[in-house]
Amino acid sequence: TARYLKDYRPSEFTINTIDLTFELDDHKTIVTSEMSVTKKSTTANKLTLDGEQLKLIAVFYNNQALAPSDYQLNDDSLTLSIIDCESTIKIITEIDPVNNTSLEGLFKSGGAFCTQCEAEGFRRITYYLDRPDVMARFTTKVIADKTLYPFLLSNGNKVSSGTLDGNFHYVTWEDPFPKPSYLFAVVAGDFDLLTDSYVTSSGRDVRLEIFVDKGNKDKAHHAMASLKHSMRWDEDTFGLEYDLDIYMIVAVDFFNMGAMENKGLNVFNSKFVLADKETATDTDYFNIEAVIAHEYFHNWTGNRVTCRDWFQLSLKEGLTVFRDQQFSADMHSAAVTRIQNVRVLRSQQFAEDAGPMSHPIRPEKVIEMNNFYTLTVYEKGAEVIRMLHTLVGQEQFKQGIDLYFKRFDGQAVTCEDFINAMADAASIDLTLFKRWYSQSGTPLLTVEENFDEQSKEYTLLVKQTNHPTKDQQVKAALHIPIAIELISECGTKAKLLELKSNSEQWHFNDFKTKPIVGFLAGFSAPVKVNFTQSNNDLATIMTKADDEFLRWDAGQKLYVDTIAKLIADENYQIPLQLIDILAVQLKSDSDLALIAEQFTLPNFHELVEQFKPVNPIVLLNAIEQLKTFIAQGLQDEFLAIYKKHADKIYQNHADAIGERAIKNMALSYLMTLSSYHDIAEQQYANSDNMTDSLASLNSAATNGIAAFDTMMASFEKRWSRTALVMDKWFSLQAAYKGNDVFERLTKLSQHPLFSLKNPNRARSLIGAFTHSNPRFFHCSTGKGYQFLADQICKLNDINPQIASRLITSLIQFKDFDKNRQELMKQQLVRISTLSSLSKDLKEKLDAALS
């Protein structure tokens, strides 16, 4: 059943303290919870606690055992009569971690016990008021076998430990900060431990601990360095310090998401912790640092100040993503970081905004909360915070953050509370701006310009259109900050325009000839732009704009315009002028990673957004035509670049990363020409690092070259015992462009190392096929859709969250031609007839098929 934002009511009860005891066991873990409960409203006399998939053993009210007739037990709740204003409730439950393949609540990952409680997993551990505005002080005693589980961890500080009969031992933890149940965690296992320490700016000595599977300690150093950089950055940038004496990170192989910010005890997908040059790519290194930072930053934006209810998720996620993006931009090239953020929005978030699950960054209706950990809440949410930052500037933004913590430290609050703090600190009116929180969909800006030769006045006219979305028919104008650059013979001028109504014009009088406008510098708002500019204007922006994002984006526009012409007419002759423009870029003195970005064509998914509804094969042909055309036109240059960087020994610093990026960019162009196919094989054979190995394998896969299978056999032999690398192997297989791909997929899904129970592995095969192999996923027989639907049906029983993520590419069927829409819908209908359809899938299917 649906829950609505408008129905929010404060809880009638508070839980002050909870003392938990876990007696860990594979199938029969006993959880004892003792709570002190306060009645907030005198009229309240019934307390309904959330609980799912629990076996209730006993309930005590003020130390008296209750009989079943004293309480009401349902599938998802336990209701007790409460007489006293202050009472104690003790509840004993039994759970089965090994059979918990949903990976929510308490489960086993390999040999270790671990938990995931956000959003509503705590109710799978014990009966509780499982909502973020109920904040209690937790004490946790963990009991387990000493040999199998030498490390017993929970939130806060270790207060006691000891041995027990029968080879058992225990550790008790106390978290001094009241917290909602979603931040609770328990971990028990045998690990290698990497330790370090950090002294905060006010002198607190913090012990840092990273727990990894045995044998992986050497792969945790990058994560540790990233943690220390994050701690320093948050002190320097926002004056925010860590608040406990210990910070623990545990890496596990079975995890639905990237990571989780549990107080003092983060749990991470091992993919975002483990790295060395042989097994992790430059992108992996970057992502590890970003996710470590993200979870660390949550300690303030999420934990110290948390969400009143789950509709407010973007309060912590949008803000924390913005903070991790700023951190990454400071640690690396700001332009390349920004370009990557924008690619995610354009290729995935815009599609979500336009699809059947369209929702504002603060949703108003939720059936399954796990379905709302979305690109909209996270990435668009971060863009909304970024717009605030652009409007008020870094100085006032920091003051807004200060005021937010001054007002709300230790509380569970709303998005509105955050904006009000920002508005008050910066003394600006954000009334209209708040609409970003309640309106879904991507605004479209239409731009017209005029230069009056007589008066020398330049006019820029901007209109915003907010198309109806599935969830919301009526839209209103938004407050949109638009950064521009005006490029003329007297140089480049930057301006910030604020569009606050459906259409506005701006006049500029300081030009002798028509200036060229670079529109949406830094991607100052999460919008689409409809603005026709000539190739000459775009070429000027590419070389003259101050903003590196604008330079890059002008190049992307050139590519999009060319692809549009190729879609309309496959015999369209691409003008050679394009090669001349690109040749200039190739020789520019920008950093090499940025040049590599400039030569990376918009990906298939970004282009679907531009041209939908589109026949995917026609689109793919157009992309390939353009890529081959550029490769032919610049092959000497690409070959020279390739050779210049081919034989360098691996180093892990920005320049070396840039060199690998531009070399592998050149490789990917050369590989579209059959005469260069053997360089992928050579590179694979000579590579001393995963970035280069993967680039060579990738180009072999996507160009369907003959040597692919031999290369992959050697890769498999070398890495069969390294899970994260085998994930890459499965993804490469799934991306292979060859007619036998469906036979391959069948074989791969029966491979001894394949398992739908491991989310990383499931994503590496199924997600990679649907995302990175569009030619076969969209093959006209519908076989690709059928393969995906088959896997989703199996995952529905094993892990509904993963099933629900993977269904995205089917529910967005409206992006494609009518025949494919029908084929995709057939599969959705088939899934919808499953006998035990999870509510995760049901919510999406109902939205897609209605």
Judged by the rule CB under 5 A, the positions of this chain that interact with Zn ion are: 317, 320
Nearest of 170, 324, 311 to residue 233 by alpha carbon: 324
Q: Which does 552 bind (CB under 5 to 8 A by kind): Zn ion, ligand ARG, none?
A: none
Cis peptide preceding 613, ω within 30 of 0: yes
Q: What is the DSSP string of 171-226?
A: EEEE--S-B-GGG--EEEE--EEEEEEEE-TT--EEEEEEEE-TT-GGGSHHHHHH
Q: Active site residue: 104, 295, 317, 606, which one?
A: 295
Q: From the list ligand ARG, Zn ion, none, which binds 118 (C-beta under 5 to 8 Å, kind-based)?
A: ligand ARG
Closest to ligand ARG by CB, 260 vs 484, is: 260
Nearer to ligand ARG, 263 or 434 (CB): 263
Taking residue 647's Cβ as centre, other Cβ atoms within 10 Å add up to 7
Closest approach, Cβ 344 to ligand ARG, in A, equals 15
370, interface contact from Zn ion, ligand ARG, none, CB < 5-8 Å by kind: ligand ARG
Q: Which is nearer to ligand ARG, 180 or 515 (CB)?
A: 180
In whole angstroms, how close is the CB of 192 to ligand ARG at the nearest point? Answer: 24
CB nearer to ligand ARG: pick between 374 and 772: 374
Q: Which is nearer to ligand ARG, 379 or 449 (CB)?
A: 379
- Using the minimum distance from each CB to ligand ARG, give the nearer residue, 550 or 792: 792
Q: Which is nearer to Zn ion, 320 or 672 (CB)?
A: 320
Q: How far is the CB of 375 from ligand ARG (least distance, A)?
A: 12
CB of 241 to ligand ARG, least distance (A): 20
Q: Shortest approach of ligand ARG to residue 714 CB, angstroms?
A: 36
Cis peptide upstream of residue 803 (ω within 30 degrees of 0): no
| Angle formed at CA 593 by CA 342 and CA 233, multiple of 5 degrees | 70
Q: Which does 659 bind (CB under 5 to 8 A by kind): Zn ion, ligand ARG, none?
A: none
Smallest distance, ligand ARG to C-beta of residue 158, A: 24
DSSP H helices in 520-671: 535-544, 548-568, 577-586, 592-598, 604-611, 616-633, 635-646, 654-670
**281 or 320, CB closer to Zn ion?**
320
For 328-347, the DSSP string reads: HHHHS-HHHHHHHHHHHIII
String of DSSP letters for 696-707: HHHHHHHTT-TT
Q: Which is nearer to Zn ion, 213 or 317 (CB)?
A: 317
Which residue, 488, 496, 497, 484, is CA-closest to 456? 488
Q: Contact residues for ligand ARG (CB under 6 A)?
A: 118-119, 257, 259-261, 294-295, 317, 370, 373
Least distance from Zn ion to the Cβ atom of residue 320, Å: 5
Given its phi and psi angles, is residue 806 left (phi above 0), alpha (psi -120 to 50 degrees) or beta?
A: alpha
Using CA atoms, how far apart are residues 48 and 77, in angstroms rounded to an integer? 6
Q: Which of 55, 148, 54, 139 is nearest to 108 (CA)?
A: 148
Closest distance to ligand ARG from the beta carbon of 230 (Å) = 13
Beta bridge partners of 487: 492, 516
Cα(397)–Cα(426) distance, integer angstroms: 7
Which is closer to ligand ARG, CB of 317 or CB of 449?
A: 317
373 binds, among Zn ion, ligand ARG, none (CB under 5 to 8 A by kind): ligand ARG
Contact partner, 119, from Zn ion, ligand ARG, none, Cβ < 5-8 Å per class:
ligand ARG
State in Å, rounded, how far the first CA of the chain is from the last one.
Answer: 17
Beta carbon nearer to ligand ARG, 154 or 699: 154
Phi and psi dihedrals of 435, rounded to 5? -60, -25
Burial status of residue 398 (CB atoms within 10 A of its CB: 0-12, 13-18, 19 or more): middle
| Contact between 468 and 496 (Cβ < 8 Å) | no
Q: Is 295 labeled as catalytic in the residue annotation? A: yes
Residue 257, binding choice from Zn ion, ligand ARG, none, Cβ under 5 to 8 Å by partner class: ligand ARG
Beta-bridged to residue 752, according to DSSP, are: none
Strand pairing of 444-452 and 528-530?
parallel
Question: Which is closer to Zn ion, CB of 371 or CB of 590?
Answer: 371
Nearer to ligand ARG by Cβ, of 116 and 442: the residue is: 116
CB burial string 24-61: b at 16+ within 10 A, e below? bbeeebbbbbbbbbebeeeeeeebbbbbbbbebeebeb
Three-class secondary structure of residue 139 per DSSP: strand
457 CB-near residues (< 8 Å, 6+ apart):
451, 507, 508, 509
CB 766 → Zn ion: shortest distance, Å?
A: 24
Tokens of 651: 């180093």
Minimal CB distance residue for ligand ARG: 373
Q: H/E element holding 452?
A: strand 444-452
Residue 262 beta carbon to ligand ARG: minimum distance, rounded to whole angstroms: 9
Buried b (16+ CB within 10 A) or exposed e, 330-360: ebbbbbbbbbbbbbbbbbbbbbbbbbbbbbb
Q: Minimum distance between the CB of residue 323 and Zn ion, rounded to whole angstroms?
A: 10
The rounded distance, in Å, linking the Cα atoms of 371 and 351 is 16
Residue in 158, 156, 184, 185 with CA at minimum distance from that of residue 171: 158
> Cβ distance 103 to 799 under 8 Å?
yes
Q: What angle do CA 220, 222, 223 make, to 5 degrees?
A: 65
Are 787 and 749 in contact by the 8 Å Cβ rule? The answer is no
CA distance 346 to 382: 14
**Residue linked to tokens 């003790």:** 90
Give the up-direction half-sphere exposure of residue 761: CA atoms within 13 A in the CB hemisphere: 18
- What are the φ and ψ backbone dihedral angles of 584, each rounded to 5 degrees? -65, -45
Catalytic positions, please? 295
